């Protein structure tokens, strides 16, 4: 098992990593298929699909299955009920995209997303000062600040699927806000030193998390640990794309359909292999 240890973490990292371009591509494909007239109906269905997956994960007694269902539930809920909600209101009120040199650099929906900063701040205040959630990031700050009046959450049964959904949504929300604020010329700008700090700070932070990730031998936990590792690393990818270091093929899935298809195939194979690892570990423990 020691020799197989890094492969579980690496596989988990790649599985979550591939959800990023596939999620972007799926959103664009959905817009192209349903068009302006039916896109919001489709978005509502996508969100309800995520809710169904979440309920399935909540009632599942299998931690591995619950984690994957939570991962996909979070992706569907984020895309259908959050991202497309901003698309709807941006279009409804005629928000114009940010354009630089004749090219759209920030879509309208992302220009209004930073308005949610107040709600985000209230939730963060509760996580920092109101409760012990089990999150290592919050635990570290609470220990350094010597916070002793927080209430430890002790559910009757650990809800793996809901934990995964909340982790994914909160991390996506947090780092969308970070990127959008540093991109904004009224605050910093995409060539500001602050943007470089976010880019390379995220790369360094994700590297530390990745080193810890490859030491994990439990597939379900590896997937949950890979979520922050990947999302923080994706900040670096997003900023490099903003700087035109490479072509973001997931923005044009129709044009780069072969590349996206290959990513999808590898993603499916890795998901299947992750369940194989789970069974193999269980058999070795039994033996």
User: H-helix or E-strand containing 268?
Assistant: helix 257-286
User: H-helix or E-strand containing 99?
Assistant: strand 98-100
Q: Are 132 and 150 in contact (CB under 8 A)?
A: yes
pLDDT in tens, 114-146: 999 999 999 988 887 777 666 777 777 777 777
Q: Are 180 and 187 in contact (CB under 8 A)?
A: no
Q: How confident is the model at residue 156 (pLDDT cuts 50, 70, 90)?
A: very low
Neighbours of 272 (CB within 10 A): 9
Q: Are 236 and 201 in contact (CB under 8 A)?
A: no
Residue 152 pLDDT exceeds 90: no
Report pLDDT for 229: 97
| DSSP symbols for 110-134 | HHHGGGGHHHHHHHHHHHHHTEE-S
Residue 1 pLDDT exceeds 50: no
Q: Based on C-alpha coordinates, what's the Rg of the chain?
A: 20
Output the six-digit token pair for 180.
């959008």
Residue 2 pLDDT exceeds 60: no
Report pLDDT for 154: 54
Percent of the chain surpassing pLDDT 90: 64
More confident residue, 147 or 15: 15
Going by C-alpha positions, the residue among 181, 203, 207, 208 that lies closest to residue 194 is 181
Domain ranges of the chain: 5-116+160-286
Output the six-digit token pair for 57.
């994960």
Report pLDDT for 233: 97
Q: Are 20 and 275 in contact (CB under 8 A)?
A: no
In the predicted model, what is the mean pLDDT of residues 50-58?
A: 95
Cα–Cα distance between 134 and 138 in angstroms, integer? 8
| Residues 6+ away with beta carbon under 8 Å from 206 | 229, 230, 232, 233, 236
In the predicted model, what is the mean pLDDT of residues 34-47?
A: 91
CA geometry: angle at 175 spanning 117 and 148, to 5°? 70
Residue 109 pLDDT exceeds 70: yes
pTM over 0.85: yes
Report pLDDT for 269: 92
| DSSP reduced 3-state for 192 | coil
Output the six-digit token pair for 26.
């799926």
Report pLDDT for 91: 92
Q: How confident is the model at residue 103 (pLDDT cuts 50, 70, 90)?
A: confident
| Residues 6+ away with beta carbon under 8 Å from 110 | 86, 176, 180
pLDDT in tens, 58-92: 998 888 899 999 999 999 999 999 999 999 999 99
Residue 284 pLDDT exceeds 70: no
pLDDT in tens, 237-281: 999 999 989 888 998 998 999 999 999 999 999 988 877 765 555
**Crossing angle of helices 193-213 and 160-183, rounded to 10°:** 160
């Amino acid at each position: 098992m020691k020799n197989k240890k890094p492969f579980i973490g690496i596989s988990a990292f790649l599985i979550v990593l591939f959800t990023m371009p596939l999620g972007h591509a799926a959103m664009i494909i959905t817009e192209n298929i349903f068009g302006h007239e039916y896109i919001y109906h489709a978005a509502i269905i996508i969100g309800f699909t995520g809710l169904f997956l979440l309920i399935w994960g909540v009632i599942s007694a299998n931690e591995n299955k619950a984690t994957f269902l939570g991962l996909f539930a979070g992706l569907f809920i984020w895309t259908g009920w959050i991202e497309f909600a901003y698309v709807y209101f941006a279009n409804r009120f005629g928000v114009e995209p940010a354009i630089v040199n004749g090219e759209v650099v920030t879509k309208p929906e992302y220009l209004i997303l930073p308005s949610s900063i107040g709600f985000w701040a209230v939730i963060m205040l509760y996580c920092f000062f109101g409760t012990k959630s089990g999150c290592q990031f919050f635990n570290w700050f609470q220990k350094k600040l010597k916070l002793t009046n927080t209430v430890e959450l002790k559910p009757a049964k650990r809800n793996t699927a809901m934990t995964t959904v909340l982790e994914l949504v909160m991390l996506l929300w947090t780092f969308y806000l970070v990127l959008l604020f540093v991109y904004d010329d009224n605050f910093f700008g995409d060539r500001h030193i602050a943007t470089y700090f976010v880019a390379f700070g995220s790369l360094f932070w994700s590297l530390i998390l990745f080193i810890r990730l490859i030491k994990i031998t439990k597939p379900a936990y590896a997937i949950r640990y890979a979520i922050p590792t990947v999302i923080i690393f994706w900040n670096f990818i997003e900023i490099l794309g903003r700087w035109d270091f490479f072509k973001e093929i997931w923005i044009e899935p129709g044009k780069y359909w072969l590349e996206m298809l290959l990513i999808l195939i590898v993603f499916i194979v890795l998901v299947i292999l992750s369940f194989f690892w789970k069974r193999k570990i269980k058999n070795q423990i039994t033996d």
